[in-house]
Amino acid sequence: MKNRSIAAILGLVISFALPTFSQGQNTVEPEVRQQIEAAYTKFAEAFNKHDAAAIAALHTEDAVQVWNYDNRGTASGQQAIEKRYADEIASNPGNLVEKLVQLYGIGDEITAISEWSKGVWKGYKVRIYVRDLDTWKIRMEYAILSMIPR
């Protein structure tokens, strides 16, 4: 039930925001794009080093993460996210490749859409980044599996 609520809220946010994006508003400055790209690089490096604690540190204390596969549902908070990634890395240790597709500014937050792959697994992620002192951290992440291996 909780997963459906979060997915519904995320869907509403995206559906209300898309008309604004199509008008060319809320563009992200090149400097901010570089900072978000650097955050993506740190995430992939931490994952490929099998460092769940470093991955969790890239999230805010109150971050929420939703995966639509493996019946894992929602993880809330850095500790839950760290445990989830520790389990993920232990059970499926392949390298992660992630490509940033689009960025949108919404107030002081950045919405980032990416494609990811790990071995034969492929999907998309939507992340909401917020400023935390001098860095960008993930407040919300929704991962979608689009290719299931046969």
pLDDT tens profile 131-148: 988 899 999 999 888 765
The answer to whether the CB of 125 falls within 8 A of the CB of 114 is yes
The predicted structure's pLDDT at residue 26: 65
pTM: 0.78
The predicted structure's pLDDT at residue 12: 45
The answer to whether the CB of 125 falls within 8 A of the CB of 141 is yes
The predicted structure's pLDDT at residue 42: 94
State which residues of the chain have pLDDT below 70: 1-26, 69-72, 147-150
The predicted structure's pLDDT at residue 9: 54
The predicted structure's pLDDT at residue 94: 80
- CATH among 3.10.450.50, 3.40.1280.10, 3.30.420.10, 3.90.190.20 for 2-147: 3.10.450.50
Q: Give the distance from CA 42 to its chain's centroid.
A: 13
Answer positive or negative: Cα dihedral of 122, 81, 51, 105: positive
The predicted structure's pLDDT at residue 11: 55
23 C-beta neighbours (distance < 10 Å), count: 8
The answer to whether the CB of 62 falls within 8 A of the CB of 77 is yes
Domain segments of the chain as ranges: 2-147
Placement of tokens 């971050």 in the chain: 63
